[in-house]
């Protein structure tokens, strides 16, 4: 069965409605797929099209408003996005690369409401992902790390002082260099074991 032909205007309406569904999905706390995220990133970078990936460098150049030769030159710059393993080019990554580097390419039109909405949506997605990662214990607050580190350093210092200032002098007196080295190594191993077990 043949699919009905639709006009570019109708296609744009369908895509905009679909983009609205992505906004509702994020508002509902649901995670986005990689393709959905790329689509939002593309909109955030000012793209009016829904292409998340270009099939060729020529297509990428067209989407960025530059020549194929310009893409080749930009590829040589540090940090330039690489094609995916399937040969596709991530459009949103390239738009962001162009923006951050201040390269001459197409820029979003002033007052581009869609790009602003997409950037806001992307920020919300990243914030939710961070909150979820924190709840899962994948991130720890810096003040907790600092407190834990200070405690471990204090413990290590106390153990080292006790070993090297109080215990070892009596053990080391009268030993030759090899014996001193062996005793020091044992003391260090004991300190490391104690720290590892704490």
Q: Are 167 and 143 in contact (CB under 8 A)?
A: no
Q: Are 107 and 95 in contact (CB under 8 A)?
A: no
Task: Select from 135, 157, 187 the last residue of a domain.
Answer: 135
Tokens (6 digits) for 33: 């797929």
Same domain, 127 and 163: no
The structural domain count of the chain equals: 2
Same domain, 30 and 123: yes
CA angle 161, 164, 169 (to 5 degrees): 140
CA angle 50, 70, 34 (to 5 degrees): 30
Instruction: Residue 72: count other Cβ atoms within 10 Å of its Cβ.
Output: 11
Strands (E), 17-130: 53-54, 89-90
Same domain, 108 and 21: yes
> How would DSSP label each residue in 19-39?
HHHHHHHHHTTPPPPHHHHHH
For residue 109, what pLDDT is reported?
Answer: 46
Q: Is the pTM of this model over 0.85?
A: no
Same domain, 21 and 88: yes
Q: Residue 193 belongs to what domain range?
A: 142-197
In a domain, 3, yes or no: no
In a domain, 173, yes or no: yes
In a domain, 160, yes or no: yes
* Per-residue model confidence as pLDDT tens digits over 86-140: 888 888 788 888 888 888 764 444 555 666 677 778 778 878 888 888 788 887 7
Task: Select from 85, 113, 135 the last residue of a domain.
Answer: 135
**Which of 7-11, 18-22, 94-98 is most confident?**
94-98
* Per-residue model confidence as pLDDT tens digits over 130-156: 888 878 888 777 888 899 889 888 888
């Amino acid at each position: 069965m043949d699919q009905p032909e639709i006009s570019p205007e109708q296609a744009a309406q369908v895509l905009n409605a679909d983009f609205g569904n992505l906004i509702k999905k994020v508002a509902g706390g649901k995670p986005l797929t990689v393709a959905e995220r790329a689509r939002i990133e593309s909109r955030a970078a000012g793209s009016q099209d829904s292409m998340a990936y270009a099939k060729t460098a020529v297509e990428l150049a067209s989407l960025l408003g530059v020549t194929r030769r310009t893409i080749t030159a930009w590829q040589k710059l540090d940090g330039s996005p690489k094609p995916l393993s399937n040969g596709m080019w991530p459009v949103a990554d390239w738009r962001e690369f162009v923006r951050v580097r201040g390269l001459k390419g197409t820029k979003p039109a002033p007052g581009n409401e869609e790009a602003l909405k997409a950037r806001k949506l992307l920020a919300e997605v990243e914030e939710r992902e961070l909150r979820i990662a924190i709840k899962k214990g994948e991130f720890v607050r810096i003040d907790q790390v600092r407190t834990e580190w200070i405690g471990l350093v204090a413990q290590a210092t106390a153990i080292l002082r006790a070993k090297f200032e109080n215990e070892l002098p009596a053990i080391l007196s009268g030993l030759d260099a090899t014996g001193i080295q062996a005793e020091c190594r044992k003391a260090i191993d004991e300190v490391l074991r104690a720290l590892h077990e704490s």
